[in-house]
Chains A and B, each alone.
Chain A
Amino acid sequence: MAHLFQAWNNELFLVIFLILGILLPVGALWVLGPMLRPARPNDAKRTTYESGVQPFGDAHVRYHARYYLFALLFVVFDVETLFLYPWAASFHQLGRFAFVEMIIFLFLLVIGLVYAWRKKVLEWNE
């Protein structure tokens, strides 16, 4: 019995967390919220909240092309982060050599970051 419980343990926890993750926001937003809050909407309350500024235009406007460069840079450093994961997981078994390897890896990417910085890619001036 104990063995069976062990085998099911991981999946059981996953299922419990899945149910909790679905139930908590649904319960808070659609069940408990409407029961607790007063509902007296008017036109002023229904307008989109834009930090106190009167909203204007459509939400789906075209964005500046500069954002795309940040997305590309993000992808590069995201891939770098991915390699940190197996490195951290096997760190104790690998020892000093892997540490040096990762330092070299990170150093090369820092050079790339410094290059982008020097080229004023990270600055936002119109």
Chain B
Amino acid sequence: MSGPLIAFYVIALCVLSCAVLLLSARRVIHMALSVGGVFIGCAALYLLLDAEFVGVAQILIYAGAITILILFAIMLTNHEAQEPPFRWNVRNVLSALGCLLLCAVILLSIRRTAWPVPDASVDINGGNSNPVAIGMALFKQYAIPFELVSLLLIVALVGAVLLARSRKEDE
């Protein structure tokens, strides 16, 4: 076994246990924390695949911002309701069957796909590291879309502000 393979199995184990913890946790805060764990584990997987920029984006946006957004949304809502104990009724059996079917479909499609192996002799990054290559593409080839991103962000910001304002005026 090589180093990256061992690392992959360790990280995959962490991600899966965080995901199971997310489903089995009783408290919503614990669920939000395990979502954070899943996101960070995925970031580690991206780093393992040499996708440094995606890994950093995953940590910064998902583990940082999205987890906080989920956490705040949880804190705003009323979550004192108690979950009824689990029972094997028709609905639960049907949803378990559906989940198994979905799992089978995904597994089958993964097995059936011929994953193309990139030619190692061709360096798609042009000799640069991954973030540098993305930077070169983003600021040369895609300069206009990049500037449009800032417009999109402004729209999001103004939308958030307007929503908050209208709520305040209703009070």
A residues touching B (Cβ–Cβ < 8 Å)?
8, 11, 14, 60, 62-63, 65-69, 71-76, 78-83, 85-91, 93-94, 97-98, 101-102, 104-105, 108-109, 111-113, 115-116, 119, 121
Chain B's nearest CB lies how many Å from the CB of A21?
13
Q: When A69-B164, A101-B143, A104-B147 are in contact, do A112 and B64 touch as well, CB less than 8 Å? A: no
Binary contact readout B23-57 vs A (1 if CB under 8 angstroms, 0 otherwise): 00001010000000000000000000000010011
- Interface size class for chain B? 35 or more
Q: What A residues does B7 contact at CB under 8 A?
A: 11, 14
User: Is B136 on the interface with A (CB-CB < 8 A)?
Assistant: yes
Interchain CB contact under 8 A, B53 and A85: yes
Chain A's nearest CB lies how many Å from the CB of B165?
6
Looking at chain B's contact residues, the main secondary structure is helix
Residues 135-171 of B at the A interface (beta carbon under 8 Å) = 135-136, 138-140, 143, 146-147, 149-151, 153-154, 156-158, 160-161, 164-165, 167
Q: Which of B72-80, B81-89, B95-103 contacts A (4 or more CB under 8 A)?
A: B72-80
Distance of A74 Cα from B132 Cα, bound (Å): 26
Distance of A10 Cα from B123 Cα, bound (Å): 21
Distance of A8 Cα from B2 Cα, bound (Å): 10
